Structure 1
Amino acid sequence: MTNVIIYTQNDCPPCTFVKNYLTEHQVTFEERNIADSTYRNEMIEHDAFATPFILLDDEPMYQVDMDKLNQKLGL
């Protein structure tokens, strides 16, 4: 099972889209909202400066690539 962490922020339509997509496909994920400075700093440590920022088994995905996401998750 792939470990999925999504860094999000409030009022972010792409963040909502990805969360809804994963939920619809019954993919378990951990959401880390960057309103919490701890999560914001974690994201910056990965050289990520935009949300949604996704970690798939600790592999960063800086832009939402649905093909890669589906392939990695077996969807």
Structure 2
Amino acid sequence: MHKVVLYTQPQCPPCEIVKRFLKAYDINFYEINIKEDQKAKRYMLNQLEAYSTPTVVVNEQEIIRGFNLEELASALNIECE
């Protein structure tokens, strides 16, 4: 089982697509809204060096910055059709 953390913000269509993608493949994830959590926003910017949402962290090691479903699928070992 993968540990997935998804950094999002309101009015972010790519964030919604990533959430739907994860749900479609029954991947559990923890969502953090960076507009509501300023500490998480600073962590995303400074530690993860990610400057846009969605940002996804898989197993505390792999960071997918921005909207990239192919990279996300690869990190989660999902074969997309």
TM-score normalised over the length of structure 1: 0.88
Partner of 1:40: 41
Q: CA deviation at 1:66?
A: 1.9
Code of the residue aligned with 1:40 in structure 2: it is K
Within 5 A, what are the aligned runs for 1:1-20? 1-20=1-20
Distance between the aligned counterparts of 1:12 and 1:37, measured in 2?
Answer: 17
Percent identical residues: 32
TM-score normalised over the length of structure 2: 0.82
Q: Deviations over 1:13-69 (max 9, x none)?
A: 000000011011110011010011011111112111100011111221113322222
Do 2:4 and 2:59's aligned partners in 1 also have CA atoms closer than 8 Å? yes
- Secondary structure, aligned partner of 2:70: helix
Partner of 2:24: 24
Report which structure shows greater RCO (CA 8 Å, sep ≥6). 1
Do 2:64 and 2:71's aligned partners in 1 also have CA atoms closer than 8 Å? no
Partner of 1:67: 70
Gaps of 5+ in 2: none
CA RMSD of aligned residues (A): 1.2
Code of the residue aligned with 1:72 in structure 2: it is A
How many residues get paired?
A: 75
Do 2:56 and 2:65's aligned partners in 1 also have CA atoms closer than 8 Å? yes
